[in-house]
Structures are given as C-alpha cells and as structure tokens.
Structure 1
C-alpha cells in the first residue's frame, strides 16, 4: 500500500531538494491535488474557490484543452524549423484579434521570454537602450526583465537603462487629467534617458497595472504617454500577460481599452490554460531590423502541442462566451464588493475591469504597514476558514487581487463576497 506523504514531509523534501529560493503561498502551505473549473481540491478533499488564478483562464482541467494536448502529443511534437500548419493556423487566428498593424506573431514558452524578446526587438529597432516602467512593475524573471521588475523586491537592482515612473493612480480624474498626470513622469524619464545618452527604446507597461495595485480607469489614460514615447523614437510594448484574452470584459486585450496603438503586444500565462506557451505580436516595421540582424529560434516556442493547446483556449473563449461572462460577472462582483464597502470601513476602494478586481484595504487610524499586515491576515483567514484563495498586490501589498478563471459565475461571486464579509466581521472590521 502506497504511503501518502504528509504536508510536513513534503515541506522537508521541498526544502532539501529545491533549496531556499522558492516561495509558497499562505502561512500554512496548500497541498493541491486536483482542479475543476473554479475549484481546487487539497489532499484531504477540501474544496477551495480559486479567485486568484488567471493561468487556468478557462478553468482548471478543462477537458477541451486536455484533449487537444493529448491528441496532438499522440501524433507529432517538434519545432518551428520544420513546416507545420498548426503554428500558422494559430498565428492567423491570434493576429485577427489584435490591434490594427500587428501583423507578425512570434512564440515562446513563457511570458518572461516574450517580454525579453520584445525588449531585444525594441532595442535593435530603435538603436536605443532606455526602458520606462511603472514604479512597482513586474514583467518577468530573465536577467533583463528582473532588472525591470521592481516588485520582485529590494534585492533586485534596477537596470542602468531602466527608469521608473509613478503608476497612474487616477482617483477622481477624467482620462485627460489622468493621462496628463501619468505623462509627466514619462516625460521626465525620457529626458533623463536622453541626457544619459541611452535614448528611449520602449515604454513597457502591464495595461491593468496589476503589481502596482490594479488601476483600470478611466480608460484612455495611456494615450499621452504612448505619444510622448513614440515621439522620442521609442516603442510601446503592451504586456498583456495579466489583462489579455478577454479578462477585462470590455475588450479582448487590455490595451484596446485605452485606445493607444501598441507596437508590440506580449502574451503569457493564460494563452495555453496552464500549458507553457507564450508569445508576442509585432508591427512589421518594428521587427524588420531584428529580423535582418538576428536569427530567432526557440526549441519549444510554437511547437505543435503548444499550438493545439492555445487554439483550444481560443475555441473555448469564443464558444463559452467568456469575455461576455467576464464583463457581466465582473460588474456583478464589483457591485457586491461595493455593498461590502458600505458595511466595512476597512475597504478603502473597489476598482477593476471585468474579472480583474482590486479591493484596497486600510486599517483605520493606523499606519500603512498595518494595512499590509491586515491584508495578509485576511488572505490567510479566507484560505483557512472560508476556503477562498486570493492574494494581495500593490507596493504595500494592501490590495486584494481578485483574478479568477473566466468561468467564474454569479454564484461564485456570491460565495466570495459572503466569505469576505464573514472574514472581515471575524477580524473586527
């Protein structure tokens, strides 16, 4: 009879085999063994509502995706240095969803690789080095991207050609006012990069500003910053790893909410519903210099199995009308959360678009550090007592990040809000 390892045994083996650099969620780590739709199940059979995981964007263990992967894996898996219709069929479908002018697709395995490739393309196209990001951004884990991801922590040093600007925290402003406030920091970064002889290669932003605390409104606040960067010779890279594939409900890509046309769009986690596939879409004129001067080859990027998984995700998104569901269920969830705000003074603000919502917390009358601790306490209580999985984001980690699979329905929104209500009451808030 096989032995089922305890959590303590797994933790000991993990520390011994994987080393100390890895991190786990929650004060009491979660041992998951199965997923289905919006639910995850631990080794003891307990069910948890996943209100956090955008990787499985069409739901955990979706049979359509699993079948597509198995079917293609049973026939052929190779790479893009051989002809194969799968990568072309997918590229054609993907590009048809993109903003006008993005006519080429390139494929990687991870969002980090996609952003890294986008920076290489931008720097060769512009013959400049400077990159502008927001002040608590996250864009990836390669060397170049870690140096442009201040949210990884103080131990990660900003690259010499990277400049941070304040995120567009546009409370009470219209799009023009919010854009003017954001572009002020961008123009200062442009001037600094030019004065240092680095030039401007790119403005790289996650168009929902997830790590900065989730800032979605008013739509259109990026236009002035994008225009300033492009006037300085740089390109606009829209990092759609977080808001892409219909999550905002209002548009298939987060950048489309803001109107400004990106030169490169990068994709990641949700693209294969957990299968490691990612990529980018790019304007031909931006890719031209890179194509002349470099070879691009990624052994697993664009392989037939990955393309089958990605194509199945597009099928499910369309056939199950998940963008429309994100719009409707997201609006309903924000209404429920706004009602909670009336009863719980610790909820400072509800913001978001579609099924990407930030619930900013405050500890009344205390310092910001206590809001950070309060958010952590609430996240752990929701996991332990309510069976709800969330995390916190923002510079002070004081904003609950609500980012569930797109199959999230009104009954799941009720489960979530009622659980938050009980947890806040139990914590005296």
Structure 2
C-alpha cells in the first residue's frame, strides 16, 4: 500500500458517522488484510461511463480504474451478460458456440503464432497457469521478474510479485532485475536490460536452478510506468529463450487497447511472446481472464495435465468478452486512447520545469506516469498530497513505483478530451493549493 492510498486513525474523525460505521463493519467482517484508498475513503454506489457516484450523488471523474475499460455500466456489455445469463450458463466441458466464437475473435487480435486460449477468472490465475505451463515445457523452475513487479496474489504468483512488500517472501527460484531506465536511448536500454536478465539467468544456474520464464507487465506499471522506447524488450526476450526459458507478456494492465497503438502492449516492442496473460478489462467488470499461447508451448502440458475451470470461459463470460471486443472496435477506442492520451500527456508535460513537483511525464495511450519530486528527489509524500488533493476535487488516480512517487493515471478507454480538460483543471488547482501551503 502506497502512502497515497493510506488510511489511518487520524483520518477516522474526518468521516461521516455512516462512513465510520461502515469501516468498523468492514474491519469486523473482512478482517485486517484489506486496504482502503485515500486518506478519506470513498463510498460509491453507482457508476456510469467515466464517472463514479457516491452515496450523496456526487460525481467523481475516474482516471484510475482500468477494469471498466469501456465505461462503468456499459449498456452493450450489460445487455450481453443479461441475455446469456437468462439463456444458459454452464462451463467449458460442454460444446457451446459462444465460447468458440469468442475464443476465435480474441485469438484473431494476436499475431498468428498465438492461436490457442485457456480461460481463467482472474489475472492471478492466468499467471499461475503460465508458471505450470512454463515448467512443463522447459523442465525448469526459475522465474525472472522486475524488482517492483506485481503479477497476482495466488501462493505461486505472490512469490514473484515483489511489489506486495517485504513481508511477502519471494521464492528461492525467483530472481529480480531492475526495471528499464526510460531515460536511456533504445540501444542502451535494450542492452542494459538484457545484461540484467542474463545476470539473473547466470545466478539461477549457479544455484542449480534451470530458468523457466521471464515475465513482465509490458507497461511496467508497478515499476513506475515505463513504456518507451519501443523495442527495448527484444534482447532480453532473446536471452531467456537462449537459456531454454520462455517469455510471458503480462497484458492484464496494458492490454485491450490501453497503450493506444494496438490491442496489446507487447506489439510496441516488435516481439511475439510465448505466452500472454490477460484479465481485468477483459469483461468490463465480469470476472474473466485468460492465457493465449503458441500451440507448441502448451502441447506438453496438455498431454499430461487436465485443465478445467468451472467459471473461466463459461457462456456468460464469453458473451461479456465478445461485447467488450465489439465496443472497443466499433467505437474506435484504441484510436481514442491514442489521441486523448497524447492530449493529456502534452497537457501534463507543460508542468515539467514550471512546477517544482513535476519532474517528468511518460506513458503510452491512456496509461500515464508522472514523476513527483521534491528538491530533486522522489517524494512519496508529495505524490500522496497530489493524489488526495485530486480526490478532494472529485478526480481519482493513484500512485506507484518503487518510491511510491509516480502518479498512475489510467482512465477508462472512453475518456474524452473534455474529461481530460476536467482532469487538468483539478490537477492545476491541486498543485497550486499544495504550493500555497508550502
């Protein structure tokens, strides 16, 4: 949990009686592991498009939640879910046209090498399945990730999700590498990242561990949003394959058009992964995820293991996924992410040099990261003040990165230029208020 999302006892008295009662009930019923966003938690009761509404009817501009990628309460997705749920909902062990139609439509958006899909309910499950397949294909167990990566919460996947914190131990078979330095030119960043991966491979082998896979979130969101320069992943992918391992592209956050150039973030790097994992925006809130594979990678696993998921890929999930793909395509949301994202990024870049808090802006499409610094050093405190200041002005973002100082801006794909203007009004007012207090 970053400071931007911290909520403590000092903030309790600032809440309404109803909110205090709900927090007490939450702690009593849900236990201590759950966390709330913002210094003053929010109680939402409705969502529509890019807006979330609290119990008093106040609207909040959602510039953070990528699960509802085609908008909260999207009518086309809701209609498809309701129609199919009222007709039939079983599982993938019966023949069903809708499941096959969706699988064909989904795989058609990938390079031809990636032609088979296995459905799950969550991204965590998809990454867990990727580990099983990688081990079956390579005969190895070693996993390489970036040093602040997040890939999920199952027992297996938590072992290679260092962003969960120091109290969640990494596996003995896991090695971390520093995230790429976005300030280097392409040739240098590509070579540097590949050298780090090669060093991790060598260390695994030195300890008798055969490499199985390199897995990265292709927007490096938890590492602080690193999108550029395109192509820097190629040499690292070559290195893991040369060592007998495979490359897994985690597209749970950058996938489904968010980067504004294509549906999938890995395409910006000119590579074809061995496995791709997807989730979150796949069903616009309906719990669905999956793994897309090159057939020869999953052949050994399929021969020796029976895979089944009661809910993953069921007819309702397939209907939701088909509707999401149709909305993205029919409303040209990839192009919208590109144009509105560039517009918002350009507006944010005007604060670099003109504001003592904003050091740099980076990202692709509607996935932007803003470095916040004080006196030339990363500042989680200042980032938290901006995140919570925006919350008070009814705009929602979060923060990420190893130093928790990177503003994470990731709105639904239906975000418009007018929404971006509203965001910038609140952003400007927040920065001015912070500087006045200082």
TM-score by length of 2: 0.95
Say whether the 8 Å CA contact 1:99–1:262 is kept in structure 2.
no
| Aligned counterpart for 1:57 among listed residues 44, 60, 69 | 69
Superposition CA RMSD, Å: 1.2
Q: Write the deviation string for residues 153-202 of structure 1: whole angstroms up to 9, x where unpaired.
A: 1101111111000101220x222211001011100000011121211100
Task: Measure the CA separation in 2 of the matches of 1:191 and 1:199.
Answer: 10
Task: Measure the CA separation in 1 of the matches of 2:279 and 2:411.
Answer: 16
Say whether the 8 Å CA contact 1:202–1:237 is kept in structure 2.
yes
Tell me by how many angstroms 1:234 deviates: 0.5
Task: Measure the CA separation in 2 of the matches of 1:337 and 1:417.
Answer: 8
| Aligned counterpart for 1:203 among listed residues 197, 214, 237 | 214
Task: Measure the CA separation in 2 of the matches of 1:427 and 1:364.
Answer: 15
**Where does residue 416 of structure 1 map in the other structure?**
423
Of 337-346 and 220-229, deviating more is 337-346
Q: Write the deviation string for residues 356-390 of structure 1: whole angstroms up to 9, x where unpaired.
A: 0001100125x54xx11111111111101x11001
Q: Write the deviation string for residues 336-370 of structure 1: whole angstroms up to 9, x where unpaired.
A: 001122421210110000000001100125x54xx
Say if 1:212 and 1:106 are closer, same or farther in 2 by CA, change over 3 A: same
Tell me by how many angstroms 1:99 deviates: 2.2
**Where does residue 294 of structure 1 map in the other structure?**
305
Q: Are residues 1:147 and 2:147 paired?
A: no
- Structure 2 counterpart SS, 1:375: helix
| Aligned counterpart for 1:116 among listed residues 106, 122, 128 | 128
Q: Write the deviation string for residues 49-83 of structure 1: whole angstroms up to 9, x where unpaired.
A: 00000000000000011111100000000001111
| Aligned counterpart for 2:403 among listed residues 396, 403, 409 | 396
| Aligned counterpart for 2:240 among listed residues 214, 229, 240 | 229
**Where does residue 350 of structure 2 map in the other structure?**
339
**Where does residue 379 of structure 1 map in the other structure?**
387
**Where does residue 426 of structure 1 map in the other structure?**
433
Task: Measure the CA separation in 2 of the matches of 1:37 and 1:343.
Answer: 33
**Where does residue 93 of structure 1 map in the other structure?**
105
Task: Measure the CA separation in 2 of the matches of 1:170 and 1:35.
Answer: 35
Tell me by how many angstroms 1:238 deviates: 0.1
Task: Measure the CA separation in 2 of the matches of 1:233 and 1:66.
Answer: 44
Q: Are residues 1:44 and 2:52 paired?
A: no
**Where does residue 168 of structure 1 map in the other structure?**
180
Task: Measure the CA separation in 2 of the matches of 1:19 and 1:108.
Answer: 27
- Structure 2 counterpart SS, 1:397: coil
**Where does residue 284 of structure 1 map in the other structure?**
295
**Where does residue 133 of structure 1 map in the other structure?**
145
Say whether the 8 Å CA contact 2:357–2:382 is kept in structure 1.
no
| Aligned counterpart for 1:24 among listed residues 26, 36, 41 | 36
Query: Which runs of 4 or more aligned residues in structure 1 lie more than 2 Å from their structure 2 counterparts after TM superposition?
Result: 340-343
Task: Measure the CA separation in 1 of the matches of 2:33 and 2:49.
Answer: 31
Q: Are residues 1:267 and 2:278 paired?
A: yes
Task: Measure the CA separation in 2 of the matches of 1:24 and 1:355.
Answer: 24
Q: Write the deviation string for residues 111-130 of structure 1: whole angstroms up to 9, x where unpaired.
A: 00001001110111000000
Tell me by how many angstroms 1:417 deviates: 1.3
Task: Measure the CA separation in 1 of the matches of 2:332 and 2:221.
Answer: 24
- Structure 2 counterpart SS, 1:6: helix
Equivalent pairs, count: 421
Task: Measure the CA separation in 1 of the matches of 2:85 and 2:384.
Answer: 41
Unaligned 5+ segments in structure 1 are: none
Tell me by how many angstroms 1:5 deviates: 8.4
Task: Measure the CA separation in 2 of the matches of 1:407 and 1:223.
Answer: 31
Tell me by how many angstroms 1:260 deviates: 1.7
Task: Measure the CA separation in 1 of the matches of 2:192 and 2:258.
Answer: 26
Say whether the 8 Å CA contact 1:108–1:279 is kept in structure 2.
yes
Task: Measure the CA separation in 2 of the matches of 1:69 and 1:113.
Answer: 22
Q: Are residues 1:7 and 2:19 paired?
A: yes
TM-score by length of 1: 0.97
